[in-house]
Amino acid sequence: NGVLTGVGTTKSTFNLYRPCASVRARLSIKFDNYPEETAWELYDSSFNLIDSGGFNPAGTAITGYAALGFADRSTFSVVKCLAPGTYTFVIYDDYGDGMYTSSTVSGTYSMNNLNNGAALFSGGGDFGAFSEHEFVIE
């Protein structure tokens, strides 16, 4: 809701945030060598799907993040606005070996409450076909 004016010749970066009446939470996923195998879903307390990533448009097959331009070992991050309640996060690996290429190349994932800095959940890449985390926004 502001105005940006000015003239410049150098590159600028702007971080824009949508107003959030409740909690801003950041989901971060650091991929292993196979971002094309990774997908995730976020459910509310009634197990209604409220967001997802890494699936085809119908939500029936994992397409992963390589098709979206994410390279091996890169990081996907998104900020969500979450109302108070209980949520379930599920991360999937299409190959069934998690985000785990080797003992030296393993992915990670986490969600943090940006309002107070608290960790909501985190996990390593060695999880098999999927890993599920329940967390509460107060």
Contact 98, 136 (CB under 8 A): no
| DSSP secondary structure, 3-15, as one string | ------SS-----
Phi, psi of 73 (to 5 degrees): 65, 15
- Tokens 């409450």 correspond to 113
Query: What was the pLDDT predicted at 21?
Result: 77
User: pTM for this one?
Assistant: 0.84
Query: What was the pLDDT predicted at 7?
Result: 55
Calpha distance 67→49 (Å, rounded):
23
Q: Look at strands 108-113 and 23-30 and give their pairing.
A: antiparallel
Tens of pLDDT along the chain (138 residues) come to 444 445 556 665 655 556 787 899 999 999 999 999 999 999 999 999 999 999 999 999 999 999 899 999 999 999 999 999 999 999 999 999 999 988 888 999 999 999 999 999 999 999 999 999 999 999
Measure the CA angle with vertex 13, ends 8 and 17; round to 5°.
125
Query: What was the pLDDT predicted at 20?
Result: 80
Query: What was the pLDDT predicted at 9?
Result: 60
